[in-house]
Amino acid sequence: MDEFMQAAIAQAQKSRLEGGIPIGSVLVKSDKIIGQGHNKRVQDGDPMTHAEIDCLRNAGRIGNYKGTILYSTLMPCYLCAGAVVQFGIKKVVAGESANFPGAREFMESHDVEVIDLDLDECKQMMDEFIQNNPLLWNEDIGE
């Protein structure tokens, strides 16, 4: 598997072990990981700390986002897609979108290339979490 998606999955698993939602993300530039993070909504009691936001925060101020690629184990939601469009990140790689369709069309309508790897590993991890924690998940997606 793609080493960067593997790193995003490791972040998701870390969140799960912490009692949080298993979504992980990494930011890549010039074939190097320059930031990584995971959903910390449960851990921090912060509804804004989605995996992609945590990842972008951890990358810090990088000047501009030219040539960066954002990886996420799950298709980014509108909040995170908004950050992608705002910062000019032009490529997003998602582990899956079967459990959550996210904001793919929104990103594509802003010239972001979106790739969905449709990975069983990501689908199973999310599906198992949603089955066991439906209320937590519904809170995450605003339902």
Q: How far is the CB of 76 from Zn ion (least distance, A)?
A: 5
Give me the count of residues in the chain: 143
Residue tagged active-site, from 3, 18, 52, 128 = 52
Q: Which of 69, 80, 125, 126 touches Zn ion by CB under 5 A?
A: 80
For Zn ion, what does the binding mask look like between residues 32 and 51, x meaning CB under 5 A? ------------------x-
112 lies in the binding site for Zn ion (CB under 5 A): no
Task: Please say if 105 is a catalytic residue.
Answer: no
CB 106 within 8 A of CB 40: no
* Helices 3-17 + 51-59 axis angle, to 10: 110
CA 124 to chain centre: 16
